[in-house]
Structure 1
Amino acid sequence: MARSDLLINLVKAGVSGDTRTVKRTVEAIVAEERAKQHNVLADRLEKVVETPPMNGQSNIARVSAEASGRGAREFIAEMIPRRRLDELVLPDLTRLAATQLIEEQQRASLLRSHSLEPRHRILLVGPPGNGKTTLAEAIAESLAVPFFVVRYEAMIGSFLGETATRLKRVFDYARTTPCVLFFDEFDAVGKERGDIHETGEIKRVVTSLLMQIDDLPSYVVVLAATNHAELLDRAVWRRFQLRLTLPAPTQKQLAAFLSSLSARAEIKLGLGTEQIAKALGRVSYSEAEEFFTDILRRRILSGDGRAVVDIIREQMKLWMGRARAAPGISKDESDAGSAAP
């Protein structure tokens, strides 16, 4: 929102006693100042709203210690986004949707001048290892904002109400700055509330989660990823403005991905990437990248004594053996998708 609109909203809310709008407007101003690296001013604003009023009434716009980071940091891992969107092999519609979202965030002021907000809630669905986390990272890199990953192992507690309280701290902290907030394995906290096998506690967590998502300002881009979309609460789906699928790669997409890795590493493979992709068979992008990294390791350790093509053939044999040993993959499936080049 433009600075003039923020100030007008703040005055209107203060005059009318709308404490909710006052709180959200102050949070938006603090986030805007932090985005401009005006940290001294942002800190002073937070300090002002943290100061108890002289008349002893409740603080209408209190920004808690947890929200300013002193109580939420243990539940969030801040990552440096390094992957770029143009490096990713994505379905055409997924790339288009991600590009549109980035443009809306970058040109948010224009949208707000027309009383519109940029989209900022995205649900990523697909099997593991096919780019959900990487896409979230690439969006953060494109927007040049912090990339926060929620740490479930620290946030989920064993006492009644503890998880919901910690979850609120995470959202309160995210509101203090433009950022990408990423929930991996989202089904861990967004499970179907109608499941009779779930406890009342997880139902309370889901209810709190939905309320917090609804209350997020549009400068916080929240991405949630899941491998098990069927486990999500039905109300979760409508909270997300974009629902993107990242399926397992086709052989053509896998070949393009290997070509991209080879070009970035400036290595000539000596074999066609289509041939390698066919030999790898049914693998995810993550597994294909792991295979390519194995090649890099062996190339470095062998020096100039071996051709890259010989290293690839050797690693291919190892991967064929690994595929046959994987649970749920029959020998016939492995042989069909892993013929040596």
Structure 2
Amino acid sequence: MDESRDVIDKLVQITKIGALGDGEKVRIQALRLVRALRQSSNPLADHIQNEVFSQNFDQGSANAIRRVKDSGLNSPVPADNESNSDLLSVEDPIYLPNGFISSEEIRGPLNLIISERKNTRRLIDAGITPTSKILFTGPPGVGKTVCAKYLAQKLKVPLLTLDLATVVSSYLGRTGNNIKKALEYAKSKPCVLLLDELDAIAKKRDDSSDVGETKRLVTVILQELDQWQGENLLIAATNHYHLLDAAVQRRFDQIVEFKPPKLEELMQVGIALVSGGNVPKAWIYFVASLMEETSYSDFQREINNLRKALLLEGESGAIEYLKKLLERQCAADDRVQRKNLALLLVTKGKSSQRTASKITGVSRDTLRSALAAGAQ
């Protein structure tokens, strides 16, 4: 591609971003264009610099490029050479709207990692290498990304995310180069790096259906993991641990397994979600009972839908929503489960028998008899 065509493509990209109203990304892309033009001694570089940036480019460029609060990220994240799209997403400050809720078996390892990062010098002096590479494994929606955010928040550094499922390219060598660029950048800045969807590039090399490029990518990620040193924390996440190459699995200092949430954990999330609202606790308990062993994200969706139904359609609309949720999660002819849910609503959720009957379809007579039998 000749220089004039390359310049046109970059200007089109800048125009598209500007049309979306993202002024900061316009400045980032303009900065990249200036750098490219400077390399070829094109006088257009000075013209763009004078029009876009008020500071001297060489001496004050730190003020003319992307900053993320006080994170120390004072240079633009690397971009794909062809599409010009950023390889890394940046989150700083970290936002956890519902706080951090997790099981003790997850919270324990995370707090130990935080303690390690705060006592790195003591560990090194004792001849112990601090944890620098962690693998989060578990089904979708169980809190892997939230835990990565929590670690970054506690360590007071930005979270950089490389979505490996989207960085894969059909061009030979391009994916590997993008991965190298992204990790090189992350190693040079205070941050927590999240490699999301690790299984997209690190599958077992004995899979005969994979082309040679996939095997080369495994080699690339192995080399990058081996070279990851220093104070920054690398977290990789996968929904399919069993698909990962064994050599990749061995590169991590810790492996944290995330399991589907229990009822008690969902209750904590639900109460946090409706904080300050008027959603009865019995309803939260009902949804948590139905959604146990699913995922936090599915549960949050249903709780938010319930809140909307209550706000817009009142109590009758909310109860109708709960009935429809029950129909989706429980077979209509499963009378035993419906009765058990009605009993839980009354005994654990502190719901009235009338409301429990309305939601589950279990008659009040049946419910009273079951309660009486349980009290004996």
Same fold by TM-score greater than 0.5: yes
Aligned position for 2:325: 319
Matched, 1:101 2:113: yes
Distance 1:296 1:252 in 2: 20
Q: Residues 257, 201 of structure 1: CA spacing in aligned structure 2 closer, same or farther, 3 A cutoff?
A: same
Gap runs ≥5 in structure 2: 1-58, 63-74, 343-358, 361-376
Q: Residues 334, 164 of structure 1: CA spacing in aligned structure 2 closer, same or farther, 3 A cutoff?
A: farther
Distance 1:268 1:235 in 2: 52
Deviation at 1:95, TM superposition (A): 0.9
Is the Cα contact below 8 Å between 2:263 and 2:289 reproduced in 1? yes
More relative contact order in 1 or in 2 (CA 8 Å, sep 6+)?
A: 1
Aligned residues: 266
Between 243-252 and 109-118, the greater mean CA deviation after superposition: 109-118
Deviation at 1:132, TM superposition (A): 0.9
Partner AA of 1:289 in structure 2 = Q
Aligned position for 1:226: 238
Deviation at 1:259, TM superposition (A): 2.7
What SS is found at the alignment partner of 2:141?
Answer: coil
Match of 2:77 among 61, 69, 73: 69
Is the Cα contact below 8 Å between 2:164 and 2:197 reproduced in 1? no
For residues 235-272 of structure 1, the C-alpha deviation after alignment (integer angstroms, 9 at most, x for no partner) is 1111111111111112233223323333xx22343243
Matched, 1:267 2:259: no
Deviation at 1:276, TM superposition (A): 3.4
Between 67-76 and 198-207, the greater mean CA deviation after superposition: 67-76
Aligned position for 2:4: none
Distance 2:202 2:319 in 1: 44
Structure 1 residue ranges, 4+ long, deviating more than 6 angstroms after superposition: 40-43, 330-335
Partner AA of 2:77 in structure 1 = G
The two structures have a TM-score, normalised by structure 2, of: 0.63
Is the Cα contact below 8 Å between 1:85 and 1:142 reproduced in 2? no
For residues 123-158 of structure 1, the C-alpha deviation after alignment (integer angstroms, 9 at most, x for no partner) is 111111111111111111111111111133652121
The two structures have a TM-score, normalised by structure 1, of: 0.68
Distance 1:98 1:334 in 2: 42
Match of 1:243 among 246, 249, 255: 255
Q: Residues 319, 85 of structure 1: CA spacing in aligned structure 2 closer, same or farther, 3 A cutoff?
A: closer
1:133-282 equivalent positions in 2, closer than 5 A: 133-152=145-164, 154-262=166-274, 265-272=275-282, 273-280=284-291, 282=293
Q: State the structure with more CA Rg.
A: 2
Aligned position for 1:5: none
Deviation at 1:170, TM superposition (A): 0.9
For residues 277-318 of structure 1, the C-alpha deviation after alignment (integer angstroms, 9 at most, x for no partner) is 22445531111111122233334445xxx34xx554232123
Q: Residues 332, 243 of structure 1: CA spacing in aligned structure 2 closer, same or farther, 3 A cutoff?
A: farther
For residues 166-214 of structure 1, the C-alpha deviation after alignment (integer angstroms, 9 at most, x for no partner) is 1100110101112111122211011011111111111110111011011
Identity %: 27
Q: Residues 89, 68 of structure 1: CA spacing in aligned structure 2 closer, same or farther, 3 A cutoff?
A: closer
